[in-house]
Amino acid sequence: MALIPRFFGNPSVSDPFPREMWDPLFGSGEASSLANLQIDWKETPEAHVFKADLPGLKKEEVKVEVEEGRVLKISGERSMEKEDKNDKWHRVERSHGKFLRSFRLPENAKVDAVKAAMENGVLTVTVPKKEVKKHEVKSIEISG
């Protein structure tokens, strides 16, 4: 990625406080995109539900996998907007590059029944929970 001067939009003047100094999410690459991918995880009585905001991405650009038995992985790549030689950038804040998030699922996760859906830029991954068998209690009669 070419460095784009952002100081008042004047390419001959460099920014005295480059964003790289104060914002670890700046730029491209795995570290920045990884940090930008925020995922909510909630547990309902029936399932574990993960939601990720992925605006501008198509479902074909996102991968959902379960590895090593119980590790849920959500990954993909956000492409950089094509540059035109006549374009004059004033600010670049939307991240691009690869992203990857992993979650170790609890033992009650039914990993063979995971479902994923993408709607309006929101990825929802639903991991059903195994039915917890209730322990049978057998009463023992006390003699005497």
Q: What is the mean pLDDT of residues 134-142?
A: 85
**Which comes out higher in pLDDT, residue 34 or 93?**
93
> Is 15 a member of any domain?
no
Lowest average pLDDT, out of 33-37, 59-63, 65-69, 91-95, goes to 33-37
Checking if the pLDDT of 123 tops 90, the result is yes
> Is 42 a member of any domain?
yes
Structural domain harbouring 102: 24-79+93-128
Checking if the pLDDT of 7 tops 50, the result is no
> Is 134 a member of any domain?
no
Residue appearing with tokens 């690869």: 98
CB neighbour list of residue 73: distance below 8 Å, 6 or more residues apart: 63, 64, 65, 66, 67, 100, 101, 102
Tell me, what CATH number does 38's domain have? 2.60.40.790
DSSP 21: H
CB 115 within 8 A of CB 125: yes
> Is 30 a member of any domain?
yes
> Is 124 a member of any domain?
yes
Q: What is the mean pLDDT of residues 95-114?
A: 91
Percent of the chain predicted with pLDDT > 70: 74
Whole-number pLDDT of residue 71: 95
Residue among 33, 35, 121, 39 nearest 79 (CA): 33
> Is 4 a member of any domain?
no
Confidence category of residue 108, pLDDT binned at 50, 70, 90: very high
Q: Which ranges constitute the DSSP H helices of 1-144?
A: 19-22, 30-36
Residue among 55, 56, 97, 51 nearest 77 (CA): 97
> Is 138 a member of any domain?
no
Predicted TM-score (pTM) of the model is 0.64
Number of domains the chain is built from:
1
> Is 142 a member of any domain?
no
3-state DSSP helix/strand/coil percent for the chain, to nearest 5?
10, 35, 55
DSSP 109: B
